[in-house]
Amino acid sequence: MKVSRVFGYQVLDSRGRPTVAASVSLTDGSTHTARVPSGASTGAHEAKEIRDAGGKFAEKFYSGLSVQQAVTNINEVIAPALIEEQIDLESIDNQIVELDPTEDHSRLGANATLAVSLAGAIAAAHSQNRSLARFFSPEGPLTIPMPMVNILSGGAHANRTLDIQDVLIVPTGAASFTQALSWIVAVREMAAKLGKESGYITNLIADEGGIAIAFDSAEKACDFVVNAIEKTGLKVGNEVSLALDIASTQFFDGKNYNLANLNKSYSQSEFIHYINNLVSSQPIISIEDPFAEDDWSSWQEFMNIAPKNLQILGDDLLTTNLNRLNRAIAEKSANSILIKANQNGLVSATLNVLKQARANNFNTVVSARSGENEDSWLADLATGWNAGQIKVGSTHGSERNSKWNRLLELEVIENTRFINPFN
């Protein structure tokens, strides 16, 4: 089966900002579409998306965020190279690399390259009469990942209501994904109820669907979520535990970590001990980006003193980049990696990063972005790649629930097993 047409166009993400969609049509008459996400809290070392600010395609009413140049790169550069080619994901990605050999996809734009790569993967799965999950994992039970879900949000996702980015929960005691999601919904709704009863403003929903309540410290935010868990009747630390996304790059000035809401500034050494005290005093099993993206020494020092069972998760540090992952492996700077396809720019290269992480005993967490869409391919990738964990946001917003609902569907219609990396 061959590619008959490739075309890109501009659509909107969940924040109302433009993003790229691409469709791949095959000679059997079918068309397969993927829409790419975009982040608000982005690492400096991510693959580069192209937007039109100041360019000839800039659209007045999108404040320079339009993506028509990236769309043009699909239609005028990528598409002609793929027409009449056999539908094969590796061939598509290799062809894209030939057209744009830059490591960060800055020539064509990672939003353009990923859109075509994803649409190509979906089309290739169709050509084999398989779901995207089964395309990557054709034999045996599919592995449904453990969800990590936002309850409170701050940072760049919620107008800095918290210094840190998110307080999340992980339903480690659940026996199935269906049960896990029901627990998550219960805790999230209890948190909203308690927020209203306590006089907090809870009508502000963050980019990823978390509740935006202002707390002057991470400790108070954690205490609030622990109370919400307990009020549902679930057991803290046994059935449901906490996870934090610190997003420290956002408040690191190159020398000190400055917590505005707490009105405190910490040296690198002081902040290491602050983070260690935080994870030791709260039921936290995972902490993401506790230090800035280029503060490698703090990551290393923390790894030496942190609780041995703590998941130390690199997002801005690693940016789904094979070279940065290999450095972290060599220097023992983290033990887990967040996998975001748009940080990398190609499906096959993203999978290679995940495989390298797994080969070196890193936990892998496939993640959505703050600017999402209604596609559910992320759920299939996390499942087909045997990622172990998935981080989508909260349970409000169809762009989030499309992924949760796809996992619910897979658990019902497929031969599956639910993974618990924390057992």
For 139, counting Cβ atoms within 10 Å of its Cβ (0-12 exposed, 13-18 middle, 19+ buried), the class is: exposed
Residue 270 near residue 302 (C-beta atoms within 8 A): no
Q: Is 56 a catalytic residue?
A: no
The type of residue at 312 is I
Provide DSSP, 330-375.
HHT--SEEEE-HHHHS-HHHHHHHHHHHHHTT-EEEEE--SB--S-
Active site residue 340: yes
DSSP state of 61: G
Tell me which amino acid residue 339 is.
Answer: I
Query: Residue 30 is encoded by which pair of tokens?
Result: 């079918």
CA-nearest of 247, 280, 254, 281 to 268 is: 254
Note the Cα 191 to chain centre separation in Å.
23
Which among 49, 208, 288, 301 is annotated as catalytic? 208
301, 340, 399, 411: the catalytic one is: 340
Instruction: Please list the residues that pair with 418 across neighbouring strands.
Output: 144
Active site residues: 208, 340
